[in-house]
Chain A
Amino acid sequence: GAGVSQSPSNKVTEKGKDVELRCDPISGHTALYWYRQSLGQGLEFLIYFQGNSAPDKSGLPSDRFSAERTGGSVSTLTIQRTQQEDSAVYLCASSLARRGLSYNEQFFGPGTRLTVL
Chain B
Amino acid sequence: DAKTTQPNSMESNEEEPVHLPCNHSTISGTDYIHWYRQLPSQGPEYVIHGLTSNVNNRMASLAIAEDRKSSTLILHRATLRDAAVYYCILRDVMDSGYALNFGKGTSLLVTP
| Interface residue ranges, A against B (CB under 8 Å) | 4, 31, 33, 35, 42-43, 45, 48, 50, 56, 59, 91, 93, 95, 97-111
Contacts and interface: CB of A to CB of B under 8 A. Distances in A.
Contacts of B43: 4, 91, 93, 108-111
Given A91-B43, A111-B43, A102 B51 contact: yes
Contacts of B91: 104
Contact of B96 (A56, A101, A107): A101
Contacts of B93: 100-102
Contacts of B102: 35, 42-43
B46 A105 contact: yes
Contacts of A31: 97
Is chain A's binding surface mostly helix, strand, loop or mixed?
A: loop
Interface string B74-112: 000000000000010001011011111111110000000
A104 B96 contact: yes
B42 A110 contact: yes
Nearest to B50: A102
B68 interface: no
Contacts of A100: 93-94, 96
A110 to B, nearest CB: 6
Contacts of B49: 102-103
A50 B99 CA distance: 11
B62 to A, nearest CB: 13
Contact of B46 (A4, A33, A106): A106
Contacts of B51: 102
Nearest to A47: B99
Contact of B99 (A4, A33, A98, A109): A33
Contact of B101 (A45, A99, A104): A45
Contact of A97 (B32, B45, B97, B105): B97
